[in-house]
């Protein structure tokens, strides 16, 4: 058997908590992070909800012990917070001899700063500070996070819409398995922006009350922000270093159904393939999955497509499932990593978190999400789904670590 990839640390920041302990508390107590828009001015203020991280950029700078506001976008600051938590848990320090890489994902880059530049610039082409736009591209946050952590062996950015950070975790694992790196900090980060809010509103898929995934009366998704990172290491290295192993990345799969620019195929073909491939790599059968953290955005198309795929793959024995986007909102490029950390919390604490705001079954499906907290149950394998625009579908299987 090949060398397994284990998880030795994780970090998370979202609308429901500044770290894993706070996030777990919110998940256990059914506390959603969806609320009023407060972080920027927009015509949608008071009309559309968001799931915002409850800290200003200045507070995030202070938390990271950074001073230069001009150097960092909000996307970068969120990423630094989560990546630092992950590396601290794993005991990763700059200057260690092991080959360490960073694979980070996002979709908006430093657009929050670009949006501050353009009003003045459009009013007068001689105005506007160019320092506001130098952080615009998606790779800028990756470079800044790597610089903060002292990582120089490999850094790369992935942007595949909503599956971005799930793909960064997959790619990080592949780099370790190929012998190119010993350790990878993999995950993603995204901040809420006017561009994102306006774009999804144009698609007419935003819920004015807060998303209710897998409900018959669902009206769309809720945009969120946040970041999460996992520290992936070869099992051999982790055991050699005497590390505490908090989980196993036992399988993953990616498939593209190439159906539409933004919609999933009605039958969930790509979603089903991704889930099947992830379980095949794990060496487990559908009956071994204890919990599915579904993609569950709350849109008409996504929930039906994913639900059809789950029913076809699992048949009569669909495991408990829920969408934790009902807590965090849809964090876009960070969603896959945030939900991977939530999946690890489920495994570590032997519980399954409820799908909030669910009341009415979908008429096309016979399956129902978990709506109350399930405690004191054995959770050994979690299937975590992340399905992006263009049909880029990714699934991870996160498992309880058992030495061979």
If pLDDT is split at 50, 70 and 90, which confidence band does 62 have? very high
- Choosing from 138, 211, 212, 330, the catalytic residue is 330
**Residue-level pLDDT at 238:** 96
Is 295 among the residues known to form the active site? yes
- Choosing from 138, 211, 212, 295, the catalytic residue is 295
Asked if residue 272 is part of any domain, the answer here is yes
In this predicted model, what pLDDT tens digit does every residue of 2-47 receive, in sequence order? Answer: 689 999 999 999 999 999 999 999 999 999 999 999 999 999 999 9
Is 138 among the residues known to form the active site? no
**Residue-level pLDDT at 2:** 62
Residue 261 has pLDDT above 80, yes or no: no
pTM across the whole model: 0.96
Residue 263 has pLDDT above 80, yes or no: no
Q: Half-sphere exposure (CA, 13 Å, Cβ side) for 278?
A: 33
Together in a domain, 213 and 308: no
CATH of the domain at 138: 3.40.47.10
Buried b (16+ CB within 10 A) or exposed e, 124-139: eeeebeeebbbbbbbe
- How many other C-beta atoms can be found within 10 angstroms of the C-beta atom of residue 38? 10
Together in a domain, 220 and 260: no
Greater confidence (190 vs 134) lies with 190
**Residue-level pLDDT at 391:** 72
Asked if residue 404 is part of any domain, the answer here is no
Q: Are strands 351-352 and 374-375 parallel, antiparallel or unpaired?
A: antiparallel
If pLDDT is split at 50, 70 and 90, which confidence band does 264 have? low
DSSP 163: G
Q: Are strands 374-375 and 100-105 parallel, antiparallel or unpaired?
A: unpaired
- Choosing from 162, 211, 212, 351, the catalytic residue is 162
Final residue before a domain boundary, out of 182, 214, 240: 240
Together in a domain, 217 and 116: yes
Is 211 among the residues known to form the active site? no
Measured between its terminal Cα atoms, the distance across the chain in Å is 11
**Residue-level pLDDT at 3:** 84
């Amino acid at each position: 058997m090949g060398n397994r990839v284990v998880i030795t640390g994780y970090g998370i920041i979202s609308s429901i908590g500044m770290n894993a302990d706070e996030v777990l508390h919110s998940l256990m107590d059914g506390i959603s992070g969806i609320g009023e828009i407060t972080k920027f001015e927009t015509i949608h203020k008071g009309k559309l909800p968001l799931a915002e991280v409850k800290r200003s950029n200045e507070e995030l700078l202070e938390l990271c012990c950074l001073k230069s506001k001009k150097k960092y976008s909000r996307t970068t600051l969120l990423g630094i917070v989560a990546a630092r938590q992950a590396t601290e848990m794993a005991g990763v320090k700059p200057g260690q001899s092991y080959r360490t890489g960073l694979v980070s994902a996002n979709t908006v880059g430093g657009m929050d700063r670009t949006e501050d530049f353009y009003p003045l610039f459009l009013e007068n082409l001689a105005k506007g500070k160019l320092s506001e736009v130098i952080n615009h591209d998606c790779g800028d946050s990756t470079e800044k996070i790597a610089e903060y952590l002292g990582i120089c062996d490999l850094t790369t950015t992935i942007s595949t819409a909503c599956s971005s950070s799930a793909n960064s975790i997959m790619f990080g694992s592949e780099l370790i398995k190929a012998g190119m790196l010993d350790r990878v900090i993999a995950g993603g980060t995204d901040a809420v922006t006017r561009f994102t809010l306006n774009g999804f509103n144009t698609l007419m898929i935003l819920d004015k009350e807060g998303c209710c995934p897998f409900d018959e009366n669902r009206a769309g998704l809720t945009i969120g922000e946040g970041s999460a990172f996992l520290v992936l290491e070869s099992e051999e290295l982790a055991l050699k270093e005497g590390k505490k192993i908090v989980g196993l990345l036992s399988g993953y799969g990616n498939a593209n159904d190439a159906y539409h620019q933004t919609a999933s195929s009605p039958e969930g073909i790509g979603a089903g393939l991704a889930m099947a491939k992830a379980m095949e790599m794990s060496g487990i059968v559908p009956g071994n999955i204890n919990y599915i953290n579904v993609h569950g955005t709350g849109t008409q198309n996504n929930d039906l497509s994913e639900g059809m795929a789950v029913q076809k793959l699992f048949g009569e024995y669909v495991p408990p499932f829920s969408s934790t986007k009902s807590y965090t909102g849809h964090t876009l490029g960070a969603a896959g990593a945030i939900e991977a950390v939530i999946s690890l919390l489920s495994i570590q604490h032997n519980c399954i978190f409820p799908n909030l705001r669910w009341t009415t079954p979908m008429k096309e499906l016979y399956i129902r999400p978990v709506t109350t907290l399930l405690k004191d149950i054995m959770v050994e394998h979690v299937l975590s789904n992340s399905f992006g625009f263009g049909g880029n579908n990714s699934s991870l299987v996160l498992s309880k670590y058992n030495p061979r």
